[in-house]
Structure 1
């Protein structure tokens, strides 16, 4: 073993899972605040999605090509990889995961920030994720929704309604915040679909993140280029500052996709899809607090009540799931 690595202890699977959860929570919190702040600047949601995909592809596509080439060299007679040898997964899994986790999530989420504040995203993005994931896991993976988990999900639904319902009432007055709320719910549903796909097929964290990024690049970039060339979609890349473009590629691509994509999938492998999404209980509170302190957003009573209910619902689900797991291990 090289001398440089002798001082670093080998991490257990539990330590890796916990570490992945911590990194995911921090990046997701920063994503909400930065995406909302970006909506008030130069770029459109389609520009942000373009920079996100391009930034991630600059890292992941060469990585994917290397993985595919290595496997093909090890097994010369076996077909491996897809999408011109850039995705280490099959085309079906690359497209299935990429459609939900690569394209739909980014487009829904970035568009939502142009209508609704970050404080709404704080509740509705991570808040509705356990709800969608639990329902999809029950249908696709045949996971059982226990009474305790159902109670936690009810709290989440009531909290989401307190936040989204207020904006729906203001829709009759001509407000647009409700559009952003629905887009946030759509983004959470899309990511829940990806998380269940990853669990069902036992996808490796790195390979899954590479695959969905390669698929998103090959689908979105040509379509985006054609639509902007013909004027169907307005692009602001030509007028945006170079520093902002570089920052968005680095954070949205490198941070939100490469880092949190790998850590989230690793978290799924260790905790499972439902418990993984419930572990993100800190995200609503951290990002809502950041929105008030850093972005100057107001904290209405209904938003605060919704935040409390959603966080309580997530924490209740985590506590009950941990207690059940402890009882099972004790009886084993």
Structure 2
């Protein structure tokens, strides 16, 4: 029989980059579209966690068993399902598994996808750089500081308009704050992963296992007690299955693997430049598929945020220092996201 075709590293790298950008972009558009359907933010988080768990929990158990057979002393926790210690699993899982999902999905119920396109991917490098400087003692170069200033300006251009309408009874500002809080949680997770040198696959498995064992029981108790409203029982099964497939398998598993492959081929600096396409693509995707208006402040915010990301990366590259490498994508997401 003929041997299966083998792709070159370049082909794999380009394919991984395309898939990563498409999934991160689709996460923002689909999450906003989902807010107009049956499921609540708590239901969407449940679908994300359960969908990812179908793949990552067995993977984690297999990885732990393999480590035990090797007797290499690798720590594991949570009944042998997480390939990381309990302290690291809980620390990463709280920020990257539970808090990020709840905050991001909640934001889409108040603010349009165009705002998420700017505020989630845009504020992520801002929070990550500030936390890295505080926790990891990384120096903020003048070039990166200028890039961050552009990002802050873009966030203010987009979020400032909704804050002005808050006094008129508008609620978009709530979504904007939730998007920035979600990016902050993902930045916390990224800094934890970088501080401890966590492997991307092991970290993704660990946060999923933690979210499954911590979030799902609490969700069930709150729904049973009437403290949290859930529509998952009344929603069409097709919608629930789609959310589990896309939000869980796609946004968490697939983009996690492709992002790692993209980093391996392109490196962290060029990868950051590639993912800078996500804000613009998702914003225009929201205009095309969700009929969202494209106001002048949104266009200005997109330009400022994208320029800030690219400028900061270029200056870091020129200075000979690698841009910070996220452990897993934002996402989702949101970029990194998804």
| Partner-residue secondary structure (3-state), 2:3 | helix
Matching residue within 120, 126, 144 for 1:131 = 126
Q: Which aligned pairs between 1:99-138 and structure 2 lie closer than 5 A?
A: 99-138=94-133
Instruction: Give the Cα separation in 2 of the matches to 1:304 and 1:110.
Output: 23
Matching residue within 33, 37, 54 for 1:41 = 37
Unaligned runs of 5+ in 2: 323-338
Q: Is the 8 A contact 2:272 2:313 kept in 1?
A: no
Compute the RMSD of aligned alpha carbons.
2.4
Q: Is the 8 A contact 1:285 1:307 kept in 2?
A: yes
Instruction: Give the Cα separation in 2 of the matches to 1:89 and 1:63.
Output: 13
Q: Is the 8 A contact 2:151 2:305 kept in 1?
A: yes
In structure 2, the partner of 1:144 is: 139
Whether 2:30 is the aligned partner of 1:31: answer no
Q: Is the 8 A contact 1:149 1:316 kept in 2?
A: yes
Matching residue within 202, 205, 216 for 1:207 = 202
C-alpha deviation, 1:141, in angstroms: 2.0
TM-score of the pair, normalised by structure 2: 0.88
In structure 2, the partner of 1:330 is: none
In structure 2, the partner of 1:250 is: 245
TM-score of the pair, normalised by structure 1: 0.90
Q: Is the 8 A contact 2:83 2:206 kept in 1?
A: yes
Whether 2:271 is the aligned partner of 1:284: answer no
Unaligned runs of 5+ in 1: 328-332
Instruction: Give the Cα separation in 2 of the matches to 1:285 and 1:292.
Output: 11
C-alpha deviation, 1:63, in angstroms: 0.6
| Partner-residue secondary structure (3-state), 1:325 | coil
- TM-superposition CA deviations, 1:138-185 (whole Å, max 9, x none): 122222211111111101000100111100000000000000000000
| Partner-residue secondary structure (3-state), 2:319 | helix
In structure 2, the partner of 1:91 is: 86
Matching residue within 297, 300, 323 for 2:295 = 300
- TM-superposition CA deviations, 1:102-154 (whole Å, max 9, x none): 01110000000000000000000101111011111112222221111111110
Check 1:140–1:4 CA distance in 2 against 1; reply closer, same or farther (3 A cut): farther
In structure 1, the partner of 2:6 is: 7
Check 1:275–1:128 CA distance in 2 against 1; reply closer, same or farther (3 A cut): farther
**Equivalent residues, number:** 321
Check 1:8–1:17 CA distance in 2 against 1; reply closer, same or farther (3 A cut): closer
Instruction: Give the Cα separation in 1 of the matches to 2:281 and 2:321.
Output: 28
Instruction: Give the Cα separation in 2 of the matches to 1:109 and 1:22.
Output: 23
Matching residue within 164, 167, 170 for 1:169 = 164
In structure 2, the partner of 1:318 is: 313
153-162 or 187-196, larger mean C-alpha shift = 187-196
| Partner-residue secondary structure (3-state), 2:293 | coil
Check 1:195–1:131 CA distance in 2 against 1; reply closer, same or farther (3 A cut): same
Instruction: Give the Cα separation in 2 of the matches to 1:153 and 1:198.
Output: 22
C-alpha deviation, 1:64, in angstroms: 0.5
Q: Is the 8 A contact 1:101 1:191 kept in 2?
A: yes
